[in-house]
Structure 1
Amino acid sequence: MPGFVLFAGYIGYGGLLHGVGFPFVAGVLSTFFIWALPGQVIMVGGLVSGTALPAIALAVALSSIRLLPMVVSIAPLMRGPRRSLWKDLVCAHFVAMTVWVEGQRLLPHVPMNGRPPFVLGFGLMLLVFSMTGTAAGFLLAGELPASMGAGLLFMTPMSFTLLLIRGARDTTDWLALAFGTLTAPFVVGMSGGADLMITGFGGGTAAYLVGRWWRRRR
């Protein structure tokens, strides 16, 4: 199901690429190398508006920094019985919201020697779905109504939200979801992915501090 949701979301992204005249091959490769819709949309928007390449690279990097805490938190679960740097780096590339949420739920039940293959197989499957969706959206753009493309693009964040709700385990998890949701209307539209940084990092930090205070009081 997460693969089909990503496929649908990237159909919307492919339609966006076609609408702004972005090259087909470069658009599909952007999914392979960046594989994060907010960063990809920032990149396309910057290129179309004529923004300098260093500024675009910085904006995409800032948008993608939000994934670093996910990689750090799930890295111990992705490792096999023997430490392998190249396997860790390849597995880290696949860590986005879906892999992080599902990995937190499923990896503790996978034997250690099967964890790297599990992450690589699951992540590669999601990446193939995403690249196929990008290509399909680009090729079907002439037949796809704009409202439908926007709706498909919106399915991805909605799916992420549902996955986070399903994976919430304690008070801090629920507080992080609440703080991020309440902060979003005040920062929407900020450039360079700053909105995601503020809602994610700010909301998560506030949730951690409040959750820690609450546990001490109990």
Structure 2
Amino acid sequence: MSPVPELAPPAQLSATRWFLRGMVGSLAVPGFVLVATFVGFGGLLHDVGFPIGAGLLSTLFIWALPAQVILVGGIGAGASLPAVAVAVCLSGVRLLPMVVSVMPLMRGPKPRLWRELVCAHFIAMTMWVEALRLLPHVPKVGQPTYAMGLGTGMTLMSMAGTAFGFYLTDVLPGPFAVALLLLTPISFTILLVRNAKAPVDWLAIGLGAAISPLAVNSPGGLDLFWAGVGGGTLAFFIARYGFRKAA
């Protein structure tokens, strides 16, 4: 992956320019991995007979592939809409720690509620990793609009991938289309390891991986949530108290 670009300009830029820079920032390897992943999602829509328009709206408004798969799979299986809605909401709970951790980089010097809500909507695995990588290099005044541009660019690319996969399903082999869905978690894991710097980061990754098999089939599909929060919390307490006692 290319090094983090220097995003601080010699002169102050307008909000529109920061937004456009954020959209350009989405044109990186993680963004194209998202496109490939949503190609697989588009193939899934085609196979279960889900309307492409509704599928594109799910990408726009839900913007979390596991929740979208729950939506499509639940409706395809004939589940009631309230039950599907609850399952989708529970799946989204796993993103709350990501929103909390990255939101300070998206508020800017003059926080506005509507802007924070838009930025929070865009937080998913790839956006979270890219925000932690790119936003510290953006001046505080440009962080909210840069984040919105970054999220908008990723969303539009994902919608394009969804449509591409839907209309090319007959060309793509079935196993290949399904395998594309795995690209996002694989890419997320690679980026997580790449961004780990302190010993506590590696400890959190290791503990989260160790907890994952124990959290499989958790109620509400919260296995990733429990593995991530559990591993991160244990790593925090070990680093804060265990290392201190050892010293």
For the aligned pair, the TM-score class normalised by the smaller chain equals over 0.9
- When residues 110 and 147 of structure 1 are mapped into structure 2, their CA distance, relative to the original with a 3 A threshold, is same
Q: Quick one: distance in 1 between partners of 2:64 and 2:98?
A: 13
Alignment equivalent of 1:201, drawn from 229, 232, 239: 229
Give, as a single letter, the amino acid of the residue that structure 2 aligns with 1:169. Answer: K
- TM-score, structure 2 normalization: 0.83
Contact 1:42/1:192 (<8 A) preserved:
no
Alignment equivalent of 1:184, drawn from 212, 217, 225: 212
CA RMSD of aligned residues (A): 1.5
Give, as a single letter, the amino acid of the residue that structure 2 aligns with 1:196. Answer: L
Cα distance, 1:124 vs structure 2: 0.7
State percent identity of aligned pairs: 56
Q: Quick one: distance in 2 between partners of 1:192 and 1:51?
A: 15
The within-5 A match list for 1:6-21 is: 6-21=34-49
Alignment equivalent of 2:113, drawn from 85, 89, 105: 85
Contact 1:38/1:63 (<8 A) preserved:
yes
Quick check: 207-216 or 57-66, which moved more? 207-216
Cα distance, 1:152 vs structure 2: 1.2
**How many aligned residue pairs are there?**
218
- TM-score, structure 1 normalization: 0.93
Structure showing greater Rg: 2
Q: Which has the higher helix share?
A: 1
The within-5 A match list for 1:50-129 is: 50-129=78-157
Q: Which runs of 5+ in 1 are unaligned?
A: none
Q: Quick one: distance in 2 between partners of 1:70 and 1:147?
A: 31
Q: Quick one: distance in 1 between partners of 2:209 and 2:125?
A: 16
Alignment equivalent of 1:142, drawn from 161, 170, 175: 170
Q: Quick one: distance in 2 between partners of 1:46 and 1:191?
A: 16
Cα distance, 1:190 vs structure 2: 4.6
Cα distance, 1:156 vs structure 2: 0.8
Q: Quick one: distance in 2 between partners of 1:204 and 1:43?
A: 28
Give, as a single letter, the amino acid of the residue that structure 1 aligns with 2:192. Answer: L
Aligned match of 1:212: 240
Deviations 1:32-56 (A, max 9, x none): 1111111111111111112222221
- When residues 69 and 190 of structure 1 are mapped into structure 2, their CA distance, relative to the original with a 3 A threshold, is closer
